[in-house]
Amino acid sequence: MIRGGEMKRTGLGLLLSIIFICIFCSGSQAIVLDFYDNVACPPGFYGLAYYNFYDAPKLKDDSGENVKTATGDDFDMTMHVLSLRPVVYWKGLNTLWAFNAVIPFGQMEARNLTTGEKERSTGMGDVLIGPAVFLFQHEKSMTFLSFWEFVSVPTGDYSRTRAIEGGPNLGYKYWYLQHQLAFATSFAEKSKVSYDMNVNYFQKFSTSDLKPGDSMEFEGILGYGITDSIRVGAYARYWFDLQGSTNYDVDADKVKIFGAGPSIAYSKEKWGLNLRYIYDFEAENTTKGSQVWLRFNYSF
């Protein structure tokens, strides 16, 4: 459990329990799920760019109570991240395959849990790369099932001193695999309704100092086409740790997050734009706040 009165002794454990604090490690997550994300694309090259703003003033313990810094301040975390995602699709062995990478850059600012001073982590985040294979396709109902494998490479800005003192870090400093089962359907031919869902399992690998627990995430988005170009809907995600973590010999309890919010998309033949708002309705042993996602995609 996170206890405000133990801040000086457990400031590191508090920060390292914040599994969601690095946005590129969550959610489809490689990247947040949007309308038709899991639909099979024609072979070719696609480029996507994501902007994410996350405002999380509060840090919550496992009972949902606010946790303060040693100086009595809120955690006050804000984050701006721009992620580039090239994706290529191709046919082979009568099967559709894909390969993609997620390359994030950004800035995270938060109070140091030990000193109460504002600190920043700026630069590159952890890069994700990996292949995908489409296991099932039914074009008339727009029903697809695919498996995506992401490898997270610890390229992100990270300071051991900031970690020990309870300051912000964009990167994790450890490797992990994200195994993702992705599903999409429109239920029937020419339907205006769409549904996309991801099941994510995060398998994390320990270092000499960091022993993170594995995590699961379920996310889905339900959409309705107002016109051929405009689609609106609602998104929800539920993240939970399967085990606690031990980092620099400090134990951290399991993280749990439930977030949801509205989404709108405008798309044309070669490009599209998506806007999303997500509010954290439930948060345990992590930050609680809200975030905005803006995505642009282009088909080359």
For the chain, list the domains and their CATH numbers.
Answer: 4-299 (2.40.128.130)
CA angle 197, 102, 213 (to 5 degrees): 70
C-alpha span between 186 and 33 (Å, rounded): 16
pLDDT on residue 29: 47
For the chain of 300 residues, list the mean pLDDT of each consecutive stretch of 10. 41 41 38 90 96 93 83 91 97 97 95 88 95 96 97 92 81 94 94 96 91 94 96 97 83 90 96 97 92 96
pLDDT on residue 195: 97
Q: Where are the beta strands (DSSP E) in the chain?
A: 44-60, 77-92, 95-111, 118-124, 127-138, 143-153, 176-185, 193-204, 210-211, 215-225, 230-241, 245-247, 250-252, 256-267, 271-284, 286-299
Residue 251 makes CB contacts below 8 A (sequence gap 6+) with: 13, 244, 245
pLDDT on residue 134: 98
Nearest to 293 by CA among 19, 16, 28: 28
Phi/psi of residue 248, each to 5°?
A: 50, 45
Q: What is the pTM of this model?
A: 0.88
Please write the tens of the pLDDT for every residue from 173-202. 999 999 999 999 999 888 999 999 999 999
Please write the tens of the pLDDT for every residue from 54-99. 999 998 888 878 888 888 889 899 999 999 999 999 999 999 999 9
C-alpha span between 94 and 231 (Å, rounded): 32
